[in-house]
Amino acid sequence: MTLLRAKRLAGVLLTLAMAGAFAAPAQPKRVLILHSFSSGYFVNGLRTELNRQLPGRVDFYEHWLVSARSTPLLLTDVEERRLTTFSLAANETVVASTID
């Protein structure tokens, strides 16, 4: 290899190395999760799957759409196993069912 070729190769390699060093980092994926009520059962699985399937960093933002209701809330025909992580406020009641 001649000295001129060696200098050219070194220049190309240096340029490639510098381009990689100054490349902008990949932006994280941003996921907004809106809750109408406590739903930890679903959200934990969603987080796990998105972290597994999406390359790079994933930022999760959560917001609860809780209103200042003063009227009682009655939830009917809710499967009992869905209530394991659900907490009720003083003016909320659930009529649960079990599916075999």
Cβ neighbors of 30 (< 8 A, separation 6 or more) are 58, 59, 61
Cα-based distances in Å from 93 to 26, 71, 90: 47, 12, 8
Specify the pLDDT at position 86. 73
- Give 37-86 pLDDT, tens digit per residue: 665 667 788 888 888 888 888 898 887 776 555 667 777 878 887 777 77
Residue pointed to by tokens 């009655």: 74
Give the residue, 100 or 47, on which the prediction is more confident. 47
Would you mind telling me the total number of residues written for the chain in this entry? Answer: 100
Confidence check: pLDDT of 13 > 60: yes
Specify the pLDDT at position 85. 74
Mean pLDDT, residues 12-39 taken together: 70
